[in-house]
Amino acid sequence: MLARFASQVIPRRVRNYATSVANDPSKFRNIALVAHIDSGKTTLTESVLLTSNYLSAAGSVDTGSTTTDFLPAERERGITIQSASIPVKWKDWRFNLIDTPGHADFGMEVESASRVVDGAVVLIDSVEGVEAQTKGVWKQLDRYKVPTRLMFLNKLDRPGASFKSSLLSLMAHRLHPKPMPLTLPIASFNPEDYRRAEPGVEGLVDLVKWEVWKWDGQEKPTRHPLPESPESILASGIFPESHPIIPHLFSSRVALLENLAMFTEPLMEQLLEADSAETGYTDVKAATILPYLRKATISNEILPVLCGSAMKNIGTELVLDYVGELLASPKDVSIDIQPADKPLLMLAWKVAWDKRKGWMTFVRVYSGTLNRQTVIMNKTRGQKERVSKILLLYASQAEEVDSLPFGSVGVVLGLKFTRTGDTLVSTRGSAESSLPEIIPPPAVMSASIIPQSHSDLEPVQEALEALSRTDPSVRHEAQEGQLLVHGLGALHLEIVEDRLRNEWNARFEVGQRRVSYREGVGSEAQVSFDTWTTEIGGKKVDVKIDLEIRPAQEDEPGDPIWDGNIVLAADGKPLPSPDSFPDADSPLAFVARGLSNALSSSPHTSLAISRTHITVKGFSERKDAPPSVLSSAAAFILRHRLRDAGPGPVMEPYMDIKVSVTEETLGKVVRDLTEHGGEVLDLGSNTVTGGLDSDSLEAYSEDGVYVPPEWLSPSSTPVKFSVKGGPSLRRSVYAIVPLSRMLDYSTRLRALSGGHGTFEMSATGFKEVSPARRLEILKEIGRA
């Protein structure tokens, strides 16, 4: 996959590779750029590469010339499909920068990146505010306990952008209770542009370092230290005398420092002693503030907020500076394994296939040092692996290095058995514990794969197996004589189809796509059945497995590792997934494999089983039979118990949807959603702060948070213009809808809104359906 593009000539000079891996982990920053689709992640990545002198000219998403979007499908569609890693050198720091997809269909890439980073830059489109996938990636960062985050309010140069509304949306959607703006936008240095409500951003005020950055069309911005009194600022000539931001500068810095002091007693004492609030505490310098700011960021007491325009490279240097100064290094992250005098411990966070290089395993080193041409142990799978080469990957280009020290992110060649989420250790004195695995999101859509001839069957199966190794969110199975591939959405399945054809040269046709439904366990009285009988070497063998099975309660969260089921051992602890047992040859691991096999297909409907509570109370180990017999026994016994329990409730995937339309078409859109099984949650007139989740709570309080005035963004307004030329209020509809009724929604919305409506969806989970809808689904899958 990567080799085809590594040889392409990039039409701009590339320089300043970070090829040497320094050994000071305190200077490492492993960070991901995450956001909703079209918020500007790839554009910011390109701006970072330009600013850090990695590139001499920036590429563009629109022209398909960006560094990290190098796949043909990415350049054709103008979206990021896979995460791309680039080491970036900036001042004394080395950033391992991971650009991630924003589309929910490629959430697995965000999952794997979130598992190995110590910090994240979360982008927000300042016109839209917090969006559906913004909340989705935020939850992923929470799930993997990413300790430090920084917000970048992007696209402030667009009409309708609002610094204030974007900040308020962070609290309205409960992303963080204490967002803290470190910079303020200057829409224009001409006061008349504020009165005319002209959109734009020409400068930034750095409240911490007390200076102004000015972009006036030159290649590089100019920096101007701010004087320490209002009179001196007027005399400095940085701003015209009538500029509206001048009287606001000192009060905003006071708010920053006093809000920060609420988490830092020494700073509070210093401010009390300074007694210079009327001049913005300008005698308190950045060198004093930054350690307190960093401590509060690492402890997650505050959320630093920056702003700018990635397209115009405005604010990029400030992002780089504050990533280095505030976000966590590997030494700041608390893990059980200490790097000093400890053996090698790594996590494989991604696996890719390259026609020239073979299997490429992306790793993060959590302790010790990895050297090339060494033998390591895959602790998850109990397999020894040989490291042939170690690479630093620059999107589609690679540089070979001799070693990866503690805290580094790199690529290993030569590993044959390793999959995403595996723990890799030294063969000598290996670490005692395994690292937590990476959990793929549940599949919501499937399609049948039909080989063109009988001779194509085996190559297609091998291609599916290889693809699922590179993308664990792709699941495939043979069901009733046909191959089914499951994915995270229609776009995901399209990309799967393209990759099978282009990367593995598979020959097949694709059947009709359909939604992936689930079935629960029935509630009828269960017949006691816990023994399976087979013959081994002509001798009868009985295997007994005692399972306790019941429907999961509403307040019992399902385990995503088990597709929403709850599977416990006799001691009440959750069972790991079959592929992540510490000892792959243990009897309980074979039992888990059998349970997983049985749960993948209901005996009543062939749908995957979900929301079922299973406890493995005990099992008999036969010394006259191999332990693998437990896998067959567990699958047979569980299927028998599920059949005895009777058909269970059917569940279908639901989506959160936000539809933006004009006031004139609002009624038709709401009616269409309700007629197709949707539940409207809220109607908002402000596209930035409106809207609620189905499980939303009250917005965070503004107490202790500096909220800037609306005029900082002169063009901010929810009013846009209709096709007739007059002003038309944009309205947002927030709803939850069944995915099965939304497969053609793009066409429906175009007809309903005259082509002026937009929508976005993200998965919200599975819900039980009514008896009438259950019958419809069973007819759809040929089971009624």
Question: Which residues, in sequence order, are CB contacts of 730 under 8 Å at separation 6+?
Answer: 660, 661, 662, 663, 685, 687, 718, 719, 720
pLDDT higher than 50, residue 498: yes
pLDDT higher than 50, residue 618: yes
Question: Which residues, in sequence order, are CB contacts of 686 under 8 Å at separation 6+?
Answer: 165, 718, 732
CA geometry: angle 782, 783, 784, nearest 5 deg: 100
- Domains along the chain with CATH numbers: 26-150+176-330 (3.40.50.300), 345-426 (2.40.30.10), 445-515 (3.30.70.870), 531-648 (3.30.230.10), 652-772 (3.30.70.240)
Question: Which residues, in sequence order, are CB contacts of 338 under 8 Å at separation 6+?
Answer: 367
**Predicted confidence (pLDDT) per residue in 559-585, tens digit:** 988 999 999 999 999 998 887 787 778
**Predicted confidence (pLDDT) per residue in 662-715, tens digit:** 888 999 999 999 999 999 998 875 444 444 343 446 889 999 999 999 999 888
pLDDT higher than 60, residue 718: no
pLDDT higher than 70, residue 385: yes
pLDDT value, residue 281: 87
Minimal CA–CA distance to 563: which of 478, 440, 381? 440
DSSP string of 123-180? EEETTT-S-HHHHHHHHHHHHTT--EEEEEEE-TTSTT--HHHHHHHHHHTTS-S-EE
> What's the pLDDT band for 197 if we cut at 50, 70, 90?
confident
pLDDT value, residue 695: 44
pLDDT value, residue 4: 32
The burial class, CB within 10 Å (0-12 / 13-18 / 19+), for 375 is: exposed
**Predicted confidence (pLDDT) per residue in 203-236, tens digit:** 999 999 999 999 987 668 999 999 988 888 888 8
Assign 62 to helix, strand or coil. coil
> What's the pLDDT band for 64 if we cut at 50, 70, 90?
low
pLDDT value, residue 503: 87
**Predicted confidence (pLDDT) per residue in 730-765, tens digit:** 788 999 999 999 988 988 998 998 888 888 888 888
Rounded Cα distance between 684 and 378, Å, is 51
Q: How many CA atoms lie within 13 A of 33 on its CB side?
A: 35
- Please report, rounded to a whole number, the percentage of residues in the chain having pLDDT higher than 70: 89
pLDDT value, residue 341: 60
**Predicted confidence (pLDDT) per residue in 477-494, tens digit:** 887 678 889 998 888 999
Q: Which residue's structure tokens are 């959109």?
A: 199
Assign 772 to helix, strand or coil. helix
How much is the pTM?
0.82
* Comparison of pLDDT for 78 and 668, the residue scoring more: 668
pLDDT higher than 90, residue 153: yes
**Predicted confidence (pLDDT) per residue in 413-446, tens digit:** 999 999 999 999 988 765 556 788 888 888 889 9
> What's the pLDDT band for 727 if we cut at 50, 70, 90?
very low
- Please report, rounded to a whole number, the percentage of residues in the chain having pLDDT higher than 90: 54
> What's the pLDDT band for 728 if we cut at 50, 70, 90?
very low
- State the average pLDDT over residues 323-351: 82
pLDDT higher than 80, residue 60: no
pLDDT value, residue 430: 57
